[in-house]
Copies of this chain bind each other. A is one copy, B any other.
Amino acid sequence: MAITKKPLLLLIILAYFLIISVVVAQRETSPSQQTRLQEARQCRLQRLTATQPNQRIQSEGGVTELWNEFEDQFQCAGVAAMRNIIQPNSLSLPNFSPSPRLVYIEQGQGLLGLSHPGCAETYHSGQQYKSPREGSSPRGQQGQQSQRDQHQKVHRIRRGDIVALPAGVAHWCYNDGNEQLVAVSVSDLNNNANQLEQKLRSFYLAGGQPQKSMQIQQQQGQHRETFQNIFRAFDENLMAEAFNIPVDVVRRMQQEDERGLIVRVKGEGMRMIRPEEEEEYEQSYQSRRNGLDEVYCNMQIRQYLDNPKEADVYSRQAGRLNIVNSQKLRILNYMDMSAEKGNLYPNAMHTPHWTLNAHSIVYVTRGEAHVQVVGSNGQRVLDERVNQGNLFVVPQHFVSTIRAGDNGFEYVAFKTSGQPMKSPLVGYTSAFKAMPIQVLTNSFQISSQEAQSLKYNREHHTMLLPPRTGSSS
């Protein structure tokens, strides 16, 4: 009898074992927050991939597309990437982020406003307002304010611009054009400016992630924190007192709505807030260059990155590179980020090179190319054709090369340094050219002639290489 019962006992025990084992295993291997944090800043990448966004937040006036920030390549670089598509006559609602962000305007045009704390409102919208509170207001200069709407500078942004959004500064964007405004952006989560943890977030003053999309996220086990409204959570009476407005206005302002992050503008649109011509702005700049105004309030936040005449590297046969770094756009000194636009002619190459002091996040804006990246493990971690809309990371010191396809190739590369330095293997400024011939012959067991070829066959080229023709090989 004892014998017959023992197997049962054994079974119970084994079942218990099994449960324990599973519990222990789960605890240790679940892709929890902690695991992610542990893996953060791990750059032992076996494989990079050119990827598309994997999450989509549909709003009334557009779409926000997010790349998976927990992918190894983004964790290694400490960045998050997204693409906003704003419909004509639509407004991306005011928000701010804990990390600095660079935006590339891939298509369309719009108006961008930043609320720099401590900077004066010296711009006016042309529209005439009738003061709603005449007589009841304690203000003396009522007259003027009722005439024009005072606010901070509104920036015109256009296709090809790089736009710098400093950490913590509230901003909004309005598409006043006739086509979709497409903006690709990279946030440097690992930046010194971010004292919160390495995580993509935006704090919305109005709107916020629609309930629908959050439910989907939750089903996928993702966190709810990415785009949150921080105005709604405050007590309505406290806000009414703070703003000195009726509590029912606050209540309406705090109302949940399903318009999301981007809203359609009611009525005739916001064309009246269009900024005057660039020239006028530049002029007003000159006259007020002093004190805080000069260093902060009037800082340029955008630069056109696609002007062939301003190319930093230009090759008649291979293409051009346009760079915006902290020397050209001073605000990048504070953000420690920069960007490069590359236009490669059909079958041209970007030399194999590494970046000494920055990760590069490359977004393909046109065409296709064959990209190879060699990692710290001495293996090809990326070796594929990349196409328009793809994005991939080239970590610091990883060696990469790009060979444009038959229709050429265009990209924008976001960098995690305000003054990135590239070290090419080939060309006028190459690492090999800086070495004596004998170092090369002994390093590679090649002849002096071959070493000479290695050093000098591309010496008239910098960064960009024309397709090899029969005559020169």
Q: Mark A432-468, 1 if CB is under 8 A from B, else 0.
A: 1111111101111110111011101111100001011
Q: Are A442's CB and B241's CB within 8 A?
A: no
* A380 surroundings in chain B (CB, below 8 A): 233-234
Once the chains are docked, how many angstroms separate the CA of A220 from the CA of B437? 39
Q: A21-B20, A139-B460, A425-B205 are in contact. Are A379 and B233 (CB under 8 A)?
A: yes
Per the bound structure, the CA–CA distance linking A5 and B132 in Å amounts to: 86
Taking a contact as CB atoms under 8 Å apart, the answer to whether B377 and A228 are in contact is yes
In contact, A356 and B38 (Cβ under 8 angstroms): no
A454-B250 Cα distance, complex, nearest whole Å: 10
CB of A216 closer than 8 Å to a CB of B: no
Residues of A396-438 whose CB lies within 8 A of B = 396-397, 399, 401, 403, 416, 421-426, 429-438
Which of B2, B131, B473 interacts with A3 by CB under 8 Å? B2
Q: Chain B residues with Cβ under 8 A from A442's Cβ?
A: 91, 263, 265-266, 270
A2 is contacted by which of B1, B133, B454 (Cβ under 8 Å)? B1
CA distance A205 to B353 in the complex (A): 11
Instruction: Select A125's contact among B118, B169, B199, B437, beta carbons within 8 Å.
Output: B437
Closest to A459 in B: B139
Q: Which residue of B lies closest to A170 (CB)?
A: B431
Cβ-defined partner of A397 (8 Å) among B20, B91, B96: B96
A13-49 vs B, CB cutoff 8 Å, 1 = contact: the mask equals 1001100110010011000011101110111100000
Nearest chain B CB to A56's CB is how many angstroms away? 20
Closest residue of B by beta carbon distance from A61: B442
A452 & B125 in contact (Cβ 8 Å cutoff): no
**A168 cross-chain contacts in B, Cβ below 8 A:** 354-357, 396-397, 421, 423
Residues of chain B with a CB closer than 8 A to A446's CB? 249, 252-253
User: A139, A228, A457 — which one has the most chain B CB atoms within 10 A of its CB?
Assistant: A457
Binding stretch for chain B, among A145-153, A177-185, A279-287: A145-153
A64 → chain B closest CB, angstroms: 16
Q: Is the CB of B245 within 8 A of A457?
A: yes
- Lowest 4 A-B CB distances belong to which pairs? A2-B2, A228-B378, A132-B449, A168-B356
Can you list 17 pairs linking A and B with CB atoms under 8 Å apart? Answer: A9-B10, A17-B20, A91-B443, A96-B354, A113-B436, A119-B429, A133-B452, A151-B436, A172-B435, A195-B357, A196-B396, A205-B425, A238-B349, A241-B468, A243-B454, A252-B444, A270-B438
